[in-house]
Chains A and B, each alone.
Chain A
């Protein structure tokens, strides 16, 4: 067993070295690997339609997003007076990030592979306990607020260099931005109507939430989900009509984007075997 772990550790180290040398020497192969990671993970097209109070900026900064999500736990939410109706959604986003990190640490092919994640019950809790609440005591994510030494900073950089982690971090960041906006709207509404109940306030704020979601799975299954709040929305029919159009155009647009990248790679590589081999080697 020890022998097997040794072999894996060497493979992971070698892989890191190869990845680093690729990054500097052959950006094309590096691009192919990161694309391969994405293609292998695609299982469905997910189209979400959201009504927002205000559309905010386009810029995504991985470090800032990671730091801001890392800080979230129940104590932080209470200290910041975040509306109680949003606590579970914030905590769920935080758990998603913890789970993504744990999965990377449990993957023998990842440069962040850590055998302790598989063998230590405390560390693998996030993988096995769906109700685990993440707090300062239970988190295993590297701390971006108080990095103890250069090594811990390096681990965060390595994590933010993982295309798989970045992909999820971007989505978590988008959803957190919406929750932040909704929290501000709820606070404004509470100030404007001091006597109203919390439930009435929540019902009254109709922005910054996903009203409709359509998931088109690669095996052909289509799943539609609607938020309960859409039933009472004065513009229910309009939102549903916009969502229907969103799904049709979203599918076309995603195909256009994916088709361009995949064809470019196919054209640049020898069609067939080399392309397949390189994409496979991404895993």
Chain B
């Protein structure tokens, strides 16, 4: 029997985007902060050792993609900054101890706070956790086209079933078993037939959709950008 993968680590409340308000309606993401305490640090180390992944919601991933594709300064190439805040106790903490700045042109700058070095064990744990969190985020950026295709065919099957069921609603008292059987067969078979066809035309649909999304995402109009973000999150999962 195959062992199931370990459950994903949930740290939603510890990972926060740094947002800057540009106007009443517009905000821009200018960084990502990890706020962790000793217990979460231990959880991250255990997750890394067990090969667990970090849970990331579709909405979060969509915001992360927007952070990369829509930089605060329009023409500036994407540069991501990640800072780790460590809270040794409820009273201590509140300042970043590790920071990474990763530019798409290949410039990577890692900064570590001097006072962190006084405790070498903590320094290594903290930098290890910081790098693991960034790894988890950046390795999950790619869109899952296959998942979107599966979802589309599933939705198609449900839609066909509902259409068949509703079309027969008036005659439910005099059920025609033969037509019910036909509908069931159609519900079961059509998605199976449609899948190879969709798989063939899906790249074209996806390409068109992606272009529209990117145009919306990179547009200066806020409504378009919001719509693009919503569509981008639907493309995944």
Which positions in A face B, CB cutoff 8 Å?
26-28, 30-31, 34-35, 37-38, 41-55, 58-60, 62, 161-163, 166-167, 170-171, 174, 206-207, 235, 238-239, 241-243, 245-246, 249-250, 252-254, 256-261, 263-264, 267-270
Contact = CB atoms under 8 A, between A and B. Distances in A.
Contact of B141 (A41, A51, A167, A260): A260
B99 to A, nearest CB: 5
Contacts of B120: 235, 238
Contacts of B127: 242, 245-246
Contact of A46 (B106, B112, B135, B145): B106
**Helix, strand, loop or mixed for chain A's interface?**
helix
B101 interface: yes
Contact of B114 (A34, A48, A52): A52
B91 interface: no
A253 B134 contact: yes
Nearest to B219: A27
A246 B79 CA distance: 17
B128 interface: yes
A263 B79 CA distance: 18
A51 B143 CA distance: 36
Contact of A263 (B107, B142, B215): B142
Contacts of A268: 207, 210-211, 214
B138 interface: yes
Given A28-B218, A253-B138, A263-B142, A241 B95 contact: no
A162 B207 CA distance: 28
B190 interface: no
Contact of A34 (B77, B83, B207): B77
Interface stretch (B34-42, B50-58, B67-75, B191-199): B67-75
Contacts of A55: 83, 95-99, 111, 113
B20 interface: yes
A42 B106 CA distance: 7
A31 B214 contact: yes
Contacts of A45: 106, 108
Interface string B79-111: 111010000000000011111111111111111
Given A60-B72, A163-B76, A253 B102 contact: yes
B117 A254 contact: no
**Helix, strand, loop or mixed for chain B's interface?**
mixed
Interface residues of B, number: 62
A111 to B, nearest CB: 12
Contacts of B80: 257
Given A49-B110, A55-B97, A206-B114, A254 B102 contact: yes
Given A55-B111, A241-B124, A31 B138 contact: no
Closest 8 CB pairs of A and B: A256-B138, A27-B218, A58-B31, A249-B131, A260-B141, A250-B108, A268-B210, A55-B96
Nearest to B224: A27
B81 to A, nearest CB: 5
Contacts of B100: 250, 253
17 contacts: A48-B109, A52-B114, A55-B95, A62-B73, A238-B124, A242-B124, A243-B110, A245-B128, A250-B100, A250-B108, A256-B139, A256-B141, A260-B138, A260-B142, A267-B145, A268-B207, A268-B211
A238 B117 contact: yes
A161 B101 CA distance: 21
Given A27-B215, A246-B127, 6 more contacts: A45-B106, A48-B109, A54-B95, A58-B31, A249-B135, A253-B100
Given A28-B214, A30-B218, A267-B207, A257 B78 contact: yes
Contact of B112 (A49, A267, A269): A49
Contact of A50 (B104, B111, B145, B218): B111
Contact of A258 (B95, B104, B210): B104
